[in-house]
Structure formats: structure tokens, C-alpha cells
Chains A and B, each alone.
Chain A
């Protein structure tokens, strides 16, 4: 694919080029920053996960088995805030995007390396505010900060938590900016837009949403802070404000944010499906443009969160129609991934199992979205467990599964080590099964009418809740297994070699782990993405 000779795996690389804490905390190397992010998002995932475990344990009994209602409310608020803003939004972009965007375009670093380091610090400062809010007694507004509950009525550390989210937003904006500039300006000679790996198209679309959407969230949270501290009447009707205005502003960001979470995973899956079936992606331009279409339409559907808020019938109809429209590009992607397997050479290494798991769970999550886009049924389903199930299918079954698949795929590149494939396949299976056991019962629970954010519930809902909690214990084990073997592999894993999967793409043409400057010579690209037909893709 390029002219670079493959250097031996031993020797100087980005990991051993410098030693010491300082060399990490002051690094501007995108690969090291990616690892800083990897450590931090994993930390937040474990905290958010611990809260989820407590909640599921609590819900085994209708009267609540474990926590005070007030504590339960703090748990789901913290879980939501941490999982969304501190784990899932940064996960793929900040970890894999950071590591891969420069490598995939054939550059030595991102366009603004110091800005990149700043993004990480901004993220950490936001995280500290949020952790402070948790330690100092918690927040109980939910991750949605609905007014006037959050501005006038909620006690607790609303300000610290909102400030944490506000600050972290700037990290997203800066990262998005860095990616957009890098993809525009730093592509290697010959790497035209339509030769880009689809991961980059997805990251590009995501970055655009981050840059355009996040400022709206920042402004909204600022207004909440103004009203809460200085009683400026913006949202609270008692002060002359409009509580529904908050929902418009919040969802104008937070619906597109759903696509910040899922689009990168879709990009990862395009890489995995092609590599493990040794095929070009089926319908490259359809997959690429569907990312862009999703990014655009996602800004126009926020009202589907407000069908029961008293919004006019006409607004409801428009938002419903637009929400249905998002289903089309999503379906196109699923069909094209599936068709990519056709007449391929399919192998089932761990990353591929994660990718197939993604396709299955995302399909189920996406299709249940139709129930919520449809006005008549959403009236009944809104704010019930059906919604919880739907978005966990997308965000955990989809986005998190894609993240783990990507991590398994690029781990050898990042660390130079292989993990035990058997265990990894086993964990993919455990996660898939545990996930369905946890969240499938919640669809039924929701249709039966169990509202979300309920610390106690009527007895007839118990059986399904117990099933869900039992599934969650399997799921938890599924997530802990990779943690163990990844850590194990750093020391004991066999060397990976530059290209353990026989994958195409510039990042596989340089040693693992790569040297600090990524490529010894600037690569020149002479072929399309995923040119798996060419024999020279060498398998190690």
C-alpha cells in the first residue's frame, strides 16, 4: 500500500522513547495522549459501572433492597452523567481517534499536538469537579438536569456536577477541531477523501457534531447556573421563565450527542468487518454518506424527547417524521456490513465477534427506536423502562461493543502485545448473552408500564426486574474478563508484530508499537481503502 519498509518490532518506539511520569504528563505525542485517555475513561467506566451494579441489586425487591430512595436517585444521576459525558462520549474519539487519526492519514501527529494535551487536562478538570460532586454528597437531578428541578428545587451539588459537564464539553470541542483540521490538511499524498478508511469518515462526522452541538450544551448549563445562583428567571415559571425552553436547548445537543456516541463505533465496525472477511466494504460511498446524513438529520429530531411535554400536535408530527428518517441511513449501514461478509473469507477472531455482536444489538436497539419515533406508541412508552432498554441497546450493546471490538483490534498495535484470543472470544460471548438477559426484559417491563428512575415499584414488576439483575451479574463478569487479560498481556503477551490480523490501512504498515514519529518516511497511498484483493497484504 505504501513505500515504507516495515521496521523490526524491537527498537525504539513511542512507549520506550522516554521514561518517567513527566514524560507522560507533558507528552504531546497523540499515541501517548490516547493512552492517558484510555486509563481515564476506564476509570470512569468502572465508577459508572459500580453505580449500575448497586442499582440493579437494589431493584431486586419492589421496596428496594439496598438504598434509600434519595441515594438511588443519586446513583442513577451519577451513573448517567459519568457514563455519558466521561466514558462514552470521549471513549472512541479520544482513545482510538487520538491514536489512529494521524496514523490512518499517514501523518506524524495531529494538527495541534499541544491543544490535544490541553484537551486531556480539560477533561480531567471536568472529571474532578464531577467526582467532587459525587464525594461531597451527590447530585440527584438525573443526567438531564431538567428545570425547574435542577435550578430551584434540587439540593445537592448541582453546580459542581453541571460545571464538570460544562468544562468537559470544551475538551470535546477541542478534540473535534483537531480531528477536522487533521483530516482536511494532513492526509498523505494520494490519500483522497474517497480512499479514507470509513473510521475516519465516522470520526469526521462525529467531530462536526461535537463542534456544533457542544457549545449549545455549554450555554444551557451556564443558564442553569445563572438561574440557580442568581435567580435570573430563565426556566423557572415562578421567576417568569419557561421550563420547556430548557428541554429544547438540552436535547438540541443531547440528541446529536447520541450520535457522537454511536457513529465512531459504526466506523470501528466498518474496519473490523472488512478486515475479518478480507473484503472491501460493500457500498463504500453509501456507508460513508450515511454517516454524514445521520450527522445532519440528528440535529433536527430533538423534539422526539418532548412528545408528551405539551408540544403542539404539528411539532410532534414533524419531529416524528424526521426521527423516522434517521432510521434509513442506519439501516443502510447494517445491510452493507452484512453484505460485506458475502463471499468473503470470514474468520472469528475476538474483534470480529465483538463487531458481529455490535451489528446484532444495534439492529435491535435501532428498530425499537421506531416505537419511540412513532407518536401514538411513544405516548405510552416515554419515560418507561422501554426507553432505558432502547438506549442501552444502542449505547452499551452498540457503542460500547464497538469500542471493545476496536480495543481488541488495535490493542496489539498500541501495546505491541497479543492477548489470549480464546479468553477474548469467551468474553465477547459472555457480554452478548449477559447484555440481552439484562436489557431485554426491560422492553417488556416498559410496555407493562414501569416508569424509569423508580427506586421502588409495584410488586407485579418484580419477576422481570430480578431477571434483569441476574443478567447484569453475568454482564459484569463479561466486562471484567478483558480487564484482566489486557493487563496481563502488557507484561506477558507474545509480541504482536506489525500486522497480526493481515489488515489493510496505513497504521498496519509501521511497527507495533509504532515509533514516536509513526512512519519513518511519509507514506504514499496508491490504492483504495480495504484493498484486500491485492495479494501483498501480508499475514503474520
Chain B
């Protein structure tokens, strides 16, 4: 705040303050160097102004010590900034293992959010205070971007793949989120509110909201409806129990971790990676399942138990 005028957004997440400190440091460094350059120029320009029309100043070639100094000093500052910012970035990039997962689908021009309990929201996201939340996001058309200024987080939402973003809110209230990546005509309207609630209010809100069953239930219905069960329930295909996060052995001898991206690929492009010991008979479901349905199937697979090592985390 500066004369009642905000200079930074609300600090409403666990990482916001750390980012702001780095930002202040950079601002101070910026002002310092701008000050030095401006003052020196003003001083020289006045002190050495042309007094006689045809004066010829003594010539100076340069100075190696000075060149070394003004290469070395910025270099040191830049290295310090790099180390500071990178360690902060690495720390902030890793979601805590216990994060609650919320699924986000961006499409021209709205945000569809779904809680694991099945509650669906549009352009609004309710979250409990003090609990880490992990968003797993994808897009149905072009690239969008999920940006919450008050939490200092942002991530592109890309069609054909999952991206993740996490935060832990520290202050109850309502905060804007924006689509940060230009996505066509109504890009500027693709925004909404994150509503941070006390945990007990959040529970009440969850149970009060109309539910279409949990996401995993919806996934279980799809599992039967799309006849996955005819293979995966009969031994013709691998079983899903404890699949999520496990090491899967492939036909070509390599192994992969069964994370979100792998499961998505297995459903849409089954021929890409064949599980060892099985025939490549699974048909593709590309074009038949919507992004939302795929997320529901993933929720179902996850509900069948996950291996020790948590997957889906960068």
C-alpha cells in the first residue's frame, strides 16, 4: 500500500510472501542501478558540458579495471538472484503429497471445475483454508492458462495433456482467477473467483451442494458403460487395482510410472505403450470419451488403490 494505493496483490497463499520478497529485492536492485545511471549521466552532462564551441577534450581509451569491475559486480548480483529465485521455484513447484486434487477443464470460454466428491463448479472454485490443493488441468480446445494473482501461481492449460498447479490458501476471502493465455474472442471474460473458506464451512458447502455422486462413481459407471470391464475385468486386459503410481513393465522391456499422463495415453492411444504379457487388442477411445469422462475414469482407477510412490507429481 502506498497512500492507500495497492502496489501488490493480496498475499493469500503460503508461497506469496516468498515471491514478494524476491520481487522487493529485484525492485531495490533495479532502482539502485537506474539511480546510479541517471545520476551519473546528469552529473557528467552538467559537469562536462561544452563550454567553448571548438574545445577538444583529452581522449580516454577505456579502463580494464573498470570493465572488469562492471562485469563482475552485475555478474555476482545476477548469480545471487538466480540461485535465490531458482531454489524458490523448485521448492514451490513440488506439490505436497497430501494435496486434495481438483480437476479443471478449460474451454472457450469457461472454466469447469470438479471436486473429487463430485461437486461441479463453473468459473468458481471453493477451497478450504490451510489445506494444499492440487489442480489437474486440461483443455478441450486451445491453450488456456490458470492464473490466481493472490496466490502467485499460474500454469498453462494445454489440450492433449495434463498440467498441474498447487497452492495452499492462507486467508479466507474471494480472489480473482484469470485465463492468462490469449485464447480467442472472449479471453478477457474467462475469469472467475476462488473462494477460500474455513474448513468447517467448506465441508458444509460440499455437503449442501447437489452431488451427482463422486467422480470415482461416475468413472465406475463409465467403466461398465464403455465395456472396459469386458477385458479389464476378465484378465484379457491388466487389472486396475493398485495400478496408479505403480511401475508398469512394458513389452519392449522398459518400465513407466502409471501417472495421469500415462493412463490418459493408454486410453486414447493404446498402441503407444503395450503392457508386458498382454496382446495389443485394446481399441482407442479417442473421440468417444470427453476430457471430463477421462478424468472420471482416472478418479475411478485412483480409487482402486495407489502404489506407495505417489504418481502424477512433477
**A463→B4 CA distance, assembly (Å):** 13
**Residue in contact with B182 in the complex, picked from A283, A339, A379, A453, CB distance below 8 Å:** A453
- Known A342-B48, A368-B30; judge A449-B78 contact (CB<8 A): no
**A144→B188 CA distance, assembly (Å):** 17
- Whether B189 and A456, one on each chain, are in contact in the complex, defined by CB atoms closer than 8 angstroms, is yes
- Whether A382 and B85, one on each chain, are in contact in the complex, defined by CB atoms closer than 8 angstroms, is no
Q: Which chain A residues lie closer than 8 Å to B6 at the CB level? A: 448, 460
- Whether A331 and B152, one on each chain, are in contact in the complex, defined by CB atoms closer than 8 angstroms, is no
For residue A158, give the distance in angstroms from its CB to the closest CB of chain B. Answer: 12
**Residue in contact with A343 in the complex, picked from B50, B57, B66, B79, CB distance below 8 Å:** B57
**Residue in contact with B145 in the complex, picked from A69, A308, A341, A370, CB distance below 8 Å:** A308
For residue B218, give the distance in angstroms from its CB to the closest CB of chain A. Answer: 24
Tell me whether chain A's interface is mostly helix, strand or loop, or mixed.
Answer: helix
Closest to B6 in A: A448
**A370→B219 CA distance, assembly (Å):** 46
- Known A286-B62, A374-B26, A448-B9; judge A379-B156 contact (CB<8 A): no
**A32→B11 CA distance, assembly (Å):** 58
For residue A201, give the distance in angstroms from its CB to the closest CB of chain B. Answer: 15
A310 within 8 A of B: yes
Which of A106-114, A207-215, A315-323, A490-498 interfaces with chain B? A315-323
Q: Which chain A residues lie closer than 8 Å to B184 at the CB level? A: 73, 140, 149, 153-154
- Known A345-B56, A345-B57; judge A374-B185 contact (CB<8 A): no
- Whether B187 and A73, one on each chain, are in contact in the complex, defined by CB atoms closer than 8 angstroms, is yes
- Whether A317 and B48, one on each chain, are in contact in the complex, defined by CB atoms closer than 8 angstroms, is no
- Whether B40 and A338, one on each chain, are in contact in the complex, defined by CB atoms closer than 8 angstroms, is yes
Interface string of B177-201 (1 = CB under 8 A from A): 0111111111111010000000000
- Whether A370 and B182, one on each chain, are in contact in the complex, defined by CB atoms closer than 8 angstroms, is no
B49 within 8 A of A: yes
Interface string of B135-162 (1 = CB under 8 A from A): 0000001110101011011111011110
**A243→B90 CA distance, assembly (Å):** 25
- Whether B58 and A341, one on each chain, are in contact in the complex, defined by CB atoms closer than 8 angstroms, is no
B59 within 8 A of A: yes
For residue B207, give the distance in angstroms from its CB to the closest CB of chain A. Answer: 31
**A182→B54 CA distance, assembly (Å):** 35
**A450→B284 CA distance, assembly (Å):** 42
In chain B, positions 118-133 with a C-beta closer than 8 Å to chain A are none
For residue B7, give the distance in angstroms from its CB to the closest CB of chain A. Answer: 6
Q: Which chain A residues lie closer than 8 Å to B53 at the CB level? A: 539
Chain B, interface size category, equals 35 or more
**A278→B191 CA distance, assembly (Å):** 56
- Whether A375 and B86, one on each chain, are in contact in the complex, defined by CB atoms closer than 8 angstroms, is yes
Interface string of A254-280 (1 = CB under 8 A from B): 000000000000000000000001111
**Residue in contact with A533 in the complex, picked from B29, B56, B182, CB distance below 8 Å:** B56
A455 within 8 A of B: yes
For residue B70, give the distance in angstroms from its CB to the closest CB of chain A. Answer: 4
Closest to A276 in B: B50
A146 within 8 A of B: yes
In chain A, positions 131-146 with a C-beta closer than 8 Å to chain B are 140, 142, 144, 146
Interface string of B81-100 (1 = CB under 8 A from A): 11011101110110000000
**A413→B63 CA distance, assembly (Å):** 33
B34 within 8 A of A: yes
Closest to A146 in B: B143
**A254→B161 CA distance, assembly (Å):** 25
For residue A217, give the distance in angstroms from its CB to the closest CB of chain B. Answer: 19
For residue B143, give the distance in angstroms from its CB to the closest CB of chain A. Answer: 6
**Residue in contact with B188 in the complex, picked from A338, A360, A454, CB distance below 8 Å:** A454
Q: Which chain B residues lie closer than 8 Å to A309 at the CB level? A: 156, 158
- Whether A321 and B156, one on each chain, are in contact in the complex, defined by CB atoms closer than 8 angstroms, is no
Q: Which chain A residues lie closer than 8 Å to B19 at the CB level? A: 376-377, 379-380
- Known A73-B185, A282-B62, A344-B57; judge A376-B48 contact (CB<8 A): no
Q: Which chain A residues lie closer than 8 Å to B161 at the CB level? A: 237, 310
- Whether B145 and A347, one on each chain, are in contact in the complex, defined by CB atoms closer than 8 angstroms, is no
**A390→B41 CA distance, assembly (Å):** 22
For residue B304, give the distance in angstroms from its CB to the closest CB of chain A. Answer: 27
**A489→B6 CA distance, assembly (Å):** 48
B176 within 8 A of A: yes
B8 within 8 A of A: yes
For residue A77, give the distance in angstroms from its CB to the closest CB of chain B. Answer: 9
A89 within 8 A of B: no
- Whether B149 and A286, one on each chain, are in contact in the complex, defined by CB atoms closer than 8 angstroms, is no
- Whether A243 and B143, one on each chain, are in contact in the complex, defined by CB atoms closer than 8 angstroms, is yes
**A533→B57 CA distance, assembly (Å):** 7
Chain A, interface size category, equals 35 or more
For residue B161, give the distance in angstroms from its CB to the closest CB of chain A. Answer: 7
For residue B164, give the distance in angstroms from its CB to the closest CB of chain A. Answer: 9
- Whether A370 and B8, one on each chain, are in contact in the complex, defined by CB atoms closer than 8 angstroms, is no
Q: Which chain B residues lie closer than 8 Å to A175 at the CB level? A: none
B71 within 8 A of A: yes
A313 within 8 A of B: yes
Interface string of A73-115 (1 = CB under 8 A from B): 1000000000000000000000000000000000000000000
- Whether B154 and A308, one on each chain, are in contact in the complex, defined by CB atoms closer than 8 angstroms, is yes
Residue from A154, A237, A316 whose CB has the most chain B CB atoms within 10 Å: A237
**A529→B62 CA distance, assembly (Å):** 14
- Whether A310 and B158, one on each chain, are in contact in the complex, defined by CB atoms closer than 8 angstroms, is yes
- Whether A454 and B50, one on each chain, are in contact in the complex, defined by CB atoms closer than 8 angstroms, is no
- Whether A328 and B156, one on each chain, are in contact in the complex, defined by CB atoms closer than 8 angstroms, is no
Q: Which chain B residues lie closer than 8 Å to A453 at the CB level? A: 182, 187-188
Q: Which chain A residues lie closer than 8 Å to B149 at the CB level? A: 380, 448-449
For residue A529, give the distance in angstroms from its CB to the closest CB of chain B. Answer: 12
For residue B142, give the distance in angstroms from its CB to the closest CB of chain A. Answer: 4
**Residue in contact with A370 in the complex, picked from B37, B54, B78, CB distance below 8 Å:** B78
In chain B, positions 27-59 with a C-beta closer than 8 Å to chain A are 29-30, 33-34, 37-38, 40-41, 44-45, 48-51, 53-59
- Known A332-B67, A342-B44, A458-B176; judge A533-B74 contact (CB<8 A): no
Q: Which chain B residues lie closer than 8 Å to A517 at the CB level? A: none
- Known A153-B141, A308-B155, A342-B48; judge A282-B60 contact (CB<8 A): yes
**A338→B155 CA distance, assembly (Å):** 40
- Known A146-B143, A327-B74; judge A363-B66 contact (CB<8 A): no
Q: Which chain A residues lie closer than 8 Å to B22 at the CB level? A: 374, 376-377
**Residue in contact with B45 in the complex, picked from A152, A356, A447, A532, CB distance below 8 Å:** A356
Q: Which chain B residues lie closer than 8 Å to A321 at the CB level? A: 82
In chain B, positions 157-174 with a C-beta closer than 8 Å to chain A are 158-161, 163
In chain A, positions 299-313 with a C-beta closer than 8 Å to chain B are 308-310, 312-313
For residue B81, give the distance in angstroms from its CB to the closest CB of chain A. Answer: 6
A244 within 8 A of B: yes
- Whether A310 and B163, one on each chain, are in contact in the complex, defined by CB atoms closer than 8 angstroms, is yes
- Known A346-B50, A360-B41, A364-B34; judge A379-B81 contact (CB<8 A): no
- Whether B183 and A149, one on each chain, are in contact in the complex, defined by CB atoms closer than 8 angstroms, is yes
For residue A487, give the distance in angstroms from its CB to the closest CB of chain B. Answer: 30
In chain A, positions 442-466 with a C-beta closer than 8 Å to chain B are 444, 447-449, 451-458, 460, 463
Closest to A247 in B: B143
**A374→B141 CA distance, assembly (Å):** 30
Give 4 closest A-B pairs by Cβ, nearest first.
Answer: A449-B149, A237-B160, A283-B62, A374-B85
List 14 additional contacts besides A280-B61, A532-B59; criterion CB under 8 Å. A73-B187, A153-B184, A243-B159, A277-B57, A313-B89, A332-B70, A335-B66, A335-B70, A367-B29, A376-B92, A379-B19, A380-B152, A533-B58, A539-B54
Sampled A-B contacts (16; CB under 8 Å): A69-B189, A140-B185, A148-B143, A244-B158, A282-B63, A310-B161, A313-B90, A317-B89, A328-B74, A338-B37, A344-B44, A376-B86, A377-B26, A383-B181, A449-B9, A454-B188
